[in-house]
Amino acid sequence: MFSAMKILHVAPLSWKNPNGVTEAVTNLALAQSQFPQVQVGLLVSSVDPGPVPQLPLPVLLRRDMVHLAGWSSIWECVRSWLFVPDLVVFHSTFVPFHAWLARELRRRFVPYIVCPHGGMTREALAHKAWKKRLGRRLFFDALVAGASAIQYLSQGEYERSGDWGRPVIIAGNGVWPPPEEKLATPGRRDTREFLFLGRLQIEIKGLDVLLEAAARCQRELRQSQTRVRIVGPGCAQSETYLRDEVARHSLGDIVRVEGPVRGDAKAQAYATADVFLHPSRTEGHPTSVLEALSYGVPVVVTVQTNVLHQVLAAGAGWAATHDPGDLARTLVRLARAAPQTLAAAGRAARQLALQHFTWPQAAQKTLSKYTQILRLARAA
């Protein structure tokens, strides 16, 4: 179990440009706050997070503190507007604001954890590598060195992040499973719909591989009346690039690139999918994959999503690699699969999510890990 504690989550959340970190941190905080002995607050470190939703949590925005002079004033703001935390959890990587606040925490002997959400893997550090090398030298390595622990979302993320010289805890993300009447019915229709839903980061999410695979098997996809939906917020002109690639390969009749969806539209996207595609090159613990599982949608995932082994063991999906030819063969096999094959995998997907990937389960596990960290910090 865990002890009473006050937790402050600090994260660059954005409701203007939604991302996995925003969804994961918000829902984790909400789930943790449901335990009566736990007090949880959010400090939003992004400069322009957009319209902040009403949350049953105390929320402090960085933009409301711009008039303050000095980090001691900001600490007083946290103390008076929120509470004095027992533990601070910094989410994401390479945010200078986090490093500055961490210095103040160290000065006041307040322990903190770094949760990189996949941002410390070898693949992530190789993306815009020179900027990250500079960031490490200027502030990020010092932030990590002062942490009581690093929280990875999966064993795979930990293994691909290397040794940063700090204690490690592993606790992943979760979902709020939808009710039975909202579930997908894979394989029930004459047509097939394959869905990618997430941030449209071409290289990180493997969307270049997905489009190349679709181009290679476009004849078979048309014959089986299979369509591919790529849905999510753009990133650095990625939506334009994807649309151009769809046009270049003459895929407009079988591949649709769409903007972000929320609420009922997002639920409907999962509910109408027969298969969920996530050929990512690097992840922490992708919430979109967990959401798809919870809707009863079988998934095609790479080992880098860090859920592949559980998916295969449960019979809830299939493996993918970053070889376009290999992925194309998988797409064809699933486009031609018997309806009962997809239906059985969908039922297994739902059970996997219910048994292992709910937010209450994730909250309880993180709180138990936090208790261990606090005991060690107080004994030091």
Give start and end residues of each alpha helix (H) in the chain.
Answer: 20-33, 71-81, 96-107, 122-126, 129-135, 141-145, 155-159, 202-205, 207-216, 218-223, 238-248, 263-271, 287-294, 308-314, 324-335, 339-356, 359-379
Q: At 6, which helix (H) or strand (E)?
A: strand 5-11
pLDDT score of 62: 86
Q: Is the pTM of this model over 0.85?
A: yes
Query: How many Å separate Cα 93 from the centre of its chain?
Result: 14
Q: Judge contact between 24 and 41, C-beta under 8 A.
A: no
pLDDT score of 70: 53
Strands 275-278 and 255-258: unpaired
φ/ψ of residue 260, rounded to 5: -70, 150
**Could you give all domains of the chain from N- to C-terminal order, each with its CATH number?**
5-174+359-379 (3.40.50.2000), 180-356 (3.40.50.2000)
Q: Judge contact between 311 and 330, C-beta under 8 A.
A: no
Find, among 304, 280, 308, the residue nearest to 293 by Cα.
Answer: 308
- How far apart CA 354 and CA 68 sit, in angstroms, is 45
Q: Exposed e or buried b for every residue in 64-79, given b needs 16+ CB within 10 A?
A: eeeeeeeeeebbebbe
- How far apart CA 342 and CA 273 sit, in angstroms, is 11
Sign of torsion over alpha carbons 212, 217, 218, 221: negative
| Per-residue tokens: 130 | 């020179």
pLDDT score of 67: 60
pLDDT score of 80: 80
Q: For the beta carbon of residue 290, count every other beta carbon within 10 angstroms.
A: 27
pLDDT of 291-347, one tens digit each? 999 999 999 999 999 999 999 999 999 999 999 999 999 999 999 999 999 999 999
Q: For the beta carbon of residue 252, count every other beta carbon within 10 angstroms.
A: 11
pLDDT score of 71: 54
Please report, for residues 39, 290, 300, 315, the alpha-carbon distance to residue 308 in angstroms, rounded to integers and kept in the order given.
34, 11, 9, 10
Q: Judge contact between 136 and 113, C-beta under 8 A.
A: no
Q: Taking the C-alpha atoms of 229, 235, 241 and 242 in order, what is their torsion angle to the nearest 10 degrees?
A: -10
Find, among 356, 279, 305, 285, the residue nearest to 115 by Cα.
Answer: 285
Is 139 in a helix, a strand, or coil? helix
DSSP state at residue 113? E
Residue type (1 letter), 313: A
pLDDT score of 78: 83
The parts of the chain modelled with pLDDT lower than 50 are none
| Per-residue tokens: 351 | 């059970």
